[in-house]
Structure formats: structure tokens, C-alpha cells
Amino acid sequence: MIIPELNSVSYQSTKQLYKPTVLSRLLAFVIDYFIFAPVISFSILMFFRSGFDLYKTFPQSEESQVIFFYLFFGFLILSTFLQAIFITLWGATPGQYALKLRIEFANKDTPLFFQAWFRQLGFACSFLAFGLPLFKTFIDEHGRCFYDKMTDARVVSVVPNEQRHSLQQKHYEQDRKFWLTSMTTLSLFFVVLFAIVFWRGYQNILTSPLAYKKMLNRSKKACQDFADLESTDRLRYKIAMNLVGTVSDECLNQEADFVLWRNFTQDQSLAYFAKFIAASDNSSLDIEYLKESCKTDQGSEGCYWSQVFINRTFNQIDENPEYARSVLGQIISYEMNTDLDQQAKSKIIKNLYAQNKSKSIQKFVILESLSRQASQSRRPASESQSVDETENIKEMIKDL
């Protein structure tokens, strides 16, 4: 469809005003948007440059949220202000001016600029209510929305619609009916779509493991274990607890990255060993990590554990008492050493409990104690009466 060159349309210049079509008003709005949005974005960036720099540097900070709030209102005020200037000078916004539309204000006492600004603010606020107030345009006899009524204004056309749309006049006679039907259908469609998306999203939050994982990562709860320990011990504990499935691979990976990229301590070989443990199945780098752990210091703890894993010498861990006595040594020995009898394993569990006050270790000890008991008779600890260890377990639970 072609909207003719309105400046060259030869219509009788009378004082008669016409009700504009919805298409003209919509097109005027689109033109205004395309003109004002880039100009105002540029202006706001010029005026609030330092605010944007702060937002770029610290996007998650509280200050950035305040800045975002300010910018939103800055955009609102500036855009309506500029439109009000155009309405005062030309009687219309640029888009309306190009389409030969004008805004008529009945109240002649109040300065035109303030009426225009007030009207444009009302128009902008319509979008805060998802543009629903704008639907009044289709229903109202004069096409007036609430902001028009507030300021006693109305949008008029200085060109008769016959001339404006001479090519498809018949179509536009049904303009109101067409828009009402289209918009109702579209609105219903979007409402249903929104409801489906909302419900699916809600269910996803409730049930999805991925969502839960994301939540944990975001709040950093996943890696708060052993936060009060020194870096070296923390790494040892996390490797140990990762081997028994209590600490996640992501958490261990994060800890190893911290040591390698931030801490620069002597624990690097152990961190490489941790990276090997935490590497995913399809990672091509895991063997490289194992090799790297012995590259700088053959006598380091990380290298020692790497060699134990490569050579599978778990039954010889006790030959190096320094490492064997550590939490990591005891856990590896407990989990991997097939030569240990039940008594030796019980001793390790008792040692672990005695030496460590960390909740994760205590929970592990309790679970292991229970499971070892459960293999004999499937009963909860609190109900056990005959086994000597039951009292210990009760005590452990009480301590925890």
C-alpha cells in the first residue's frame, strides 16, 4: 500500500478536522520511535557517561541498579520533554507532523508546553501497563485515551481520510472493526502464550536439577565447605571429600583454579592432581594434569598421589606416614586400599572423627558407620542396641 506524498496532495486547506485512522497514528508512533530512540540514547550517554562506565565496570553492584533506575527515568523524562517541545512548536510530534496529524488542546489557559508534556508522560506511562490503555483508541468515539482526556486533547487529521487512503478506502471504512478483531485475537494468543511460558518456567524452577545447580552456583553455596581452613588443607579436604562424592567436581575445580591462578603457593602440584580428579570424562587434558603435577617437584604431595593413582599402589600408602596421616591419605586409604580389613577401616573412621571437627567429615563418618552396620542388619543407628559402635554413632549425631 502506498501512502501518497502528503505534502504534494492537493486538498482544500480548510479548518475542518478529521478523525485519523489507527494506521496513521500507529505509523506516526513508529516513526517517532525510530527518530527519538537513537537520539535520546545518544544524549543520555553523553550526559551520564560516568554512570555508564560504572555500570560497565560493576554491572552487579547496587550502585548500578540505582543508575539503571535513573537512566530509565532519564529516558522517560527526556523523550516526553522533546516530544512536548515539538508539540508546542509544530502542534504534533515529528511522526504525526509527517503524516499530517495534529494534537488539539481545548484548554487555552494553561501553557501549551505543560499540557503537551503531561499528555506525553501519560502516553509513556501506558507502556508500564503493557500498553493496555492504548486500546481505548479503538473503542472511543473520538479515538481518545486516558491521557487525552486528562489534558482535554484529541488527535486530529488535517487531511481527509479519502485523500489519505484513496487506494484502499473500502478497507479503511472497516478500520475499527478490523483492529478490534486483530488485537483481540493477538491479545488472547499472547495471554495464552505467556501463561504457558510462565507455567513451564515455574515447573522448571521447581523440578529441574540444572536450575537447582545454577542456584547453588550463584549463591556459591556449593563451595562453602571448609571455607575456614587454610588454603592447603582446604584443597586436601576437598580432594578427599570429592573422592567420596561429598564435594562436587565443579567445587574442586574451582578450588584448584584458585590455587593455580590466584594463590601461587607451593600447593600447585596438589592442585594439578585435583584438576585431574575433577576433569570430565571427555576432557583431553586430564593426563596432562597428571603429568604436570610431577613436573616441578618430584617430592611434592600432588606428585606422590599422582604416582599412587598411576601405579595403583594404594596398599603402600602407609609407607609414607606423613601423607598417610593426612585426611586425604586416610580417605584414599579407606576407599582404595583393598588390603585393609574391617578393623583397620573402623580405626580410620574413628581417627577421622577424632581429628576433624568439620561437619562434612563428621557426616561422612556417620554415613560410613551406618552403612557398615547396615550391611550386617538394616537398622537405623538410633535403634541399634547390641553393637558397640552404636553408642559412638549416637554420640556423633549428638555432637553434630
Partner 1 sequence: MIFPGNIFKKIDFDFHPVWVLVAINVAVFLFIQLLVGDTLKNYTNDVYLEKTSKMRELYLQTLDPLEKTQSTEISATSIIRDSKFWYRAENFPFKGDQVKIADSKQFLKELKESYLKSPQFLFGLSPSPTSIWAWITYQFLHTSFFHLLMNMLFLYLIVGVMQTKIDQDWIYAIYVLSGLGGGYAYLWMNPMNEIAVVGASGAICGLMGFMSIAFHSQNMEWSYFLSPVKGYYGIINLPVFLLFPMYLISDFTTVLYYNTGVQSSVAHSAHIGGTLVGCCLGALYLVDQRAKKNILAKWGHHLSHEEFVSLRDKIK
Q: Name the site residues for partner 1 (rule: CB under 8 A).
A: 1-7, 23, 26-27, 30-31, 34-35, 38-39, 41-42, 45-46, 49, 52-53, 56-57, 98-99, 168, 171-172, 182, 256-257, 260-261, 264, 271-272, 275, 285, 288-289, 292, 295
List of residues 6+ apart from 157 with CB closer than 8 A: 17, 18, 19, 20, 21, 24, 100, 101, 102, 164
Q: What is the Cβ-side half-sphere exposure of residue 185, based on CA atoms within 13 angstroms?
A: 6
What distance in Å separates the CA atoms of residue 137 and residue 63, rounded to the nearest whole number?
A: 40
Instruction: Please give the Cα distance from 369 to 364 (Å, whole number).
Output: 8
Which residue, 51 or 143, is less far from partner 1 as judged by CB?
51
To 5 degrees, how large is the angle CA 153–CA 156–CA 159? 165
Provide the minimum distance between the beta carbon of 286 and partner 1 in the complex, in angstroms, as a whole number. 9
DSSP symbol at 380: -
- To partner 1, the closest distance from the beta carbon of 235 in angstroms equals 14
Retrieve residue 73's grid coordinates.
Answer: 527515568
Q: Rounded to whole angstroms, how far apart are CA atoms 250 and 275?
A: 10
CB of 257 to partner 1, least distance (A): 7
| 3-class secondary structure per residue, 235-266 | HHHHHHHHHCCCCCHHHHHHHHHHHHHHHCCC
Q: Considering the complex, state which of residue 126 and residue 263 has its C-beta at the smaller distance from partner 1.
A: 263
At closest approach, how far in Å is the CB of 57 from partner 1? 5
Q: Which is nearer to partner 1, 56 or 378 (CB)?
A: 56
Cα four-point dihedral sign 218, 223, 224, 230: negative
Nearer to partner 1, 159 or 352 (CB): 159
Closest separation in Å from C-beta 350 to partner 1: 37
> Please, what is the minimum distance in Å from the beta carbon of residue 210 to partner 1?
18
User: What are the CA-CA distances from residue 134 to residues 22, 153, 222 (Å)?
Assistant: 11, 15, 48
Nearer to partner 1, 9 or 211 (CB): 9
Nearer to partner 1 by C-beta: 5 or 141? Answer: 5
Q: Between 171 and 214, whose beta carbon lies closer to partner 1?
A: 171
In angstroms, give the least distance from the CB of 366 to partner 1: 36
